Structure 1
């Protein structure tokens, strides 16, 4: 059986321990009233970041609007990329990370109406580019089916820790670069698929956002590992990003819990609390929608919204038609 070249270093062992501890903290926060909204925010960040890495220019607010079923102005192919990514990540929990056919199904969905051969391995040569610079030249297309079968055989049979397995797969997948296009977003998606098979919460941890922020180093580490024919440095790099993403989830949950608890108990009426909760779930909600949802007149909604704005707890960004609400303070 093919075994990818890498080593388990003391640094990797330490990172596994720290990540496991943070995942335990995240699981303990699942009973929080805000965890559903935080999951939603994390998913939006994930989709925005994994597409931004591929030069999609749509903003976080535009992607939120698309998820909410609203129309946005933008390049048709970029809007299609977002719609495809939404569907692919919605499929995440049902994907079996050990099955090659599920990977092909995910690619077919992620690249629908973007490439002709979505869901099929490439027939020509490809490489990884960072801007105009070639980072990696992939193996010939004729080798791809056998290389992918070997990789999935290893994924299914290895007893290595899932955190390490996910990182090694990510590296090997990008090395093979099995598709004509969409390899980056599929590699990131499949790392999440492997991790959620270990701990389901990884379906909502936005590791992609940290990869985006550290994109230059991501490519440098890939290039260095290619030179040494060993993915150890890439594993260490990705584990550190996973740890930081988990730490951010814990910090955000604690910050939101404290902020909302203070505001609700000290400054907010029942209807104002309902308005804040509705805005958290849908920043693009309208006054008419709030009126129907909460069961009071539009005039009362407007008066309560004004009080929240005057108290510095609610902010309106953008115009009435295309803007969105933001909870502040």
Structure 2
């Protein structure tokens, strides 16, 4: 009997699939405006920096950009090598067939070249996954890895469940199997992007990793919850929410009808590299005194477009409410400065 990974389609998961599909429908009309070549490259760089940062690479977005532009960067040699490898892997992403195990091994070889022994080969020994010196997951024995990976890829290629769901199931099962001695996190995220891009090519340039980086504890918690439940359901829900958030951030950055007014620009600059601030603090920084005008013309437009977010969205009118600059706002500001 063909292996089928265990998971349950909840209303939360189905709602996420519907929301993502609806947004994709909007994008089909304005695809060239949503992901211009400049935005695609920018998203790819953000993806690389975020995916490596999750794995404790300390290079900033500016440093990663400099490495990819061939400039000298003061950094640890292995971190610079990680950036070069990741860029090479994402450049070749669409050339690899997502259901072929040989192509998955090739991708690992590119991603981990010069960083580990036996790059491009499955692990040959048992491993344990630790966090804070505590064992949190014991993957299957090494001699079971080739069979488990063949079964997983065969299921991905044959399943009739929605590609969004199937890609999340793959990501969880991949991390559960932990097929490589190192590089499993970045490989799992890379290959989910490849599976999604087989369905919708736009996903090859969607910086989901930037969302995962900001919600890193939730990412690991979702993996742990799926382990405890012995099914991928909690992780599917988390990843679909992350995909939807990344899509909304891209749309907020790319939407051509939006004009970055001087007042909103000043708001974004005030929050750049700043701790969250109250509305009164923002008004003072911008030299504004009339609260209704500030909210209507400055704060609300930034909130609606996802450039600024509330620390406590469940209490939007709280006098203790503070606001912070999102990844989308950071990108809008960077584009304006360029």
TM-score between both structures, scaled by the size of structure 2? 0.75
Shift of 1:33: 9.0
Equivalent residue for 1:68? Answer: 69
- For structure 2, the 5+ residue unaligned runs are 263-333
Shift of 1:189: 0.2
Equivalent residue for 2:93? Answer: 92
Structure-to-structure mapping, 1:241-320, within 5 angstroms: 241-254=242-255, 258-259=259-260
Q: Deviations over 1:140-171 (max 9, x none)?
A: 11111111111111111111110000000000
Equivalent residue for 1:111? Answer: 112
Q: SS state of the match for residue 7, structure 2?
A: coil
Are 2:225 and 1:216 equivalent residues in the alignment? no
Q: SS state of the match for residue 136, structure 2?
A: strand
Equivalent residue for 2:139? Answer: 138
Q: SS state of the match for residue 255, structure 2?
A: helix
Equivalent residue for 2:16? Answer: 15
Equivalent residue for 2:316? Answer: none
* Distance (whole Å) between structure 2 residues aligned to residue 97 and residue 115 of structure 1: 23
- RMSD over aligned CA atoms reads 2.0
* Distance (whole Å) between structure 2 residues aligned to residue 258 and residue 30 of structure 1: 19
Equivalent residue for 2:336? Answer: 327
Q: Deviations over 1:195-225 (max 9, x none)?
A: 0000000000011111111111111111111
Aligned residues: 266
Q: SS state of the match for residue 79, structure 1?
A: helix
* Distance (whole Å) between structure 1 residues aligned to residue 246 and residue 22 of structure 2: 13
Do 1:129 and 1:136's aligned partners in 2 also have CA atoms closer than 8 Å?
yes
* Distance (whole Å) between structure 2 residues aligned to residue 33 and residue 179 of structure 1: 36
Shift of 1:131: 4.4
* Distance (whole Å) between structure 2 residues aligned to residue 34 and residue 142 of structure 1: 43
Q: Identify if the C-alpha distance between structure 1 residues 132 and 49 changes in structure 2 by more than 3 Å, giving closer, same or farther.
A: farther
Q: Identify if the C-alpha distance between structure 1 residues 150 and 130 changes in structure 2 by more than 3 Å, giving closer, same or farther.
A: same
Equivalent residue for 2:293? Answer: none
Are 2:3 and 1:2 equivalent residues in the alignment? yes
> Which portions of structure 1, spanning 4 or more consecutive aligned residues, are displaced by more than 4 angstroms?
none
Equivalent residue for 1:37? Answer: 38
Structure-to-structure mapping, 1:96-245, within 5 angstroms: 96-245=97-246
Q: SS state of the match for residue 57, structure 1?
A: coil
* Distance (whole Å) between structure 2 residues aligned to residue 33 and residue 149 of structure 1: 36
Do 2:33 and 2:256's aligned partners in 1 also have CA atoms closer than 8 Å?
no
Equivalent residue for 1:311? Answer: none
Do 1:127 and 1:177's aligned partners in 2 also have CA atoms closer than 8 Å?
no
Q: SS state of the match for residue 153, structure 1?
A: helix
Equivalent residue for 1:316? Answer: none
Do 2:9 and 2:233's aligned partners in 1 also have CA atoms closer than 8 Å?
yes
Shift of 1:257: 5.7
Equivalent residue for 2:288? Answer: none
* Distance (whole Å) between structure 2 residues aligned to residue 145 and residue 33 of structure 1: 39
* Distance (whole Å) between structure 2 residues aligned to residue 73 and residue 87 of structure 1: 21
Q: Identify if the C-alpha distance between structure 1 residues 257 and 29 changes in structure 2 by more than 3 Å, giving closer, same or farther.
A: farther
Q: SS state of the match for residue 187, structure 2?
A: helix
- For structure 1, the 5+ residue unaligned runs are 264-324
Shift of 1:32: 2.6
Do 1:65 and 1:71's aligned partners in 2 also have CA atoms closer than 8 Å?
yes
Shift of 1:27: 3.4
Higher-RCO chain (CA-CA 8 Å, sequence separation at least 6):
1
Do 1:22 and 1:250's aligned partners in 2 also have CA atoms closer than 8 Å?
no
